[in-house]
Structure 1
Amino acid sequence: MDMQRALRARLLADDLVSALASGRVFWGIRPPKSLLPAITLNVIPTVLAEHMKGQQSLQFFRVQMDSWGDSYAAAQALVDAALACLLPRLKNDNYYFRTASATVPRDLSEETTAGTIHRKQTDLTIRFSLA
């Protein structure tokens, strides 16, 4: 399992995130007409950490996380739950996730023909290595 699958599995295994998003955690784009609330994740270009013998075991990935909701409160509740899940240390799926860090979520709500879609976007620094 790669880090991206392990990170998604971590979110899906969290009781509160699972209750709010009902399995709607996606890498890349949110599928058209998918239900809300939902989370999308995207890797932001990152330099792989290296030393004189090659890649370090501890890596730092930047991940953009968007929490989507049909109300501002739903988007906020989902981003809060996701951050509570992702920021602490955890070992799962052959990965050891160190303490992560995050920016303060940005508000990026938008008007569509179907109404307002509320989105909270935050950038995460995910520190991890193989367990």
Structure 2
Amino acid sequence: MNGICVVLAFVCVGLGAIGIVVPILPTTPLFLAAAVLFAKGSKRFHQWFLSTKLYRNHLEDLVITRSMTKKSKLTVLTTITVLFTIGFFAAPIWHAKSVIAIVAAAHYYVFLFRIRTVSEEEKARQKAESKRREKASA
């Protein structure tokens, strides 16, 4: 069972890495799934994943504080909008256009209504508090 979890985790990491460039693949959920699968499958691989640049750049702040700054959200949503617009107009059939529109709407829903927006100062305070609690429990 552990081996299966590790293999599935590497598949999620690979798909998540592709999702950084290809907007139709959801990067953050795939990396979260990889973190969970690594944790279940192997302590060593889990520690390795938590130390990677992929995790630190795309998940660490979100996992620690469960929030994003307005600037971060705006950057992500601007990138998503540009890429989905290109994909929408490049898609030759209406089925593909429908899928792109649904995925774009889902992205907007998650970023606008499910992820809390905080100020830069609050984000830094949350992160510092979380790291302080981590050190105290270790």
Q: TM-score range by the shorter chain?
A: under 0.3
* Bigger share in helix: 2
* Bigger share in strand: 1
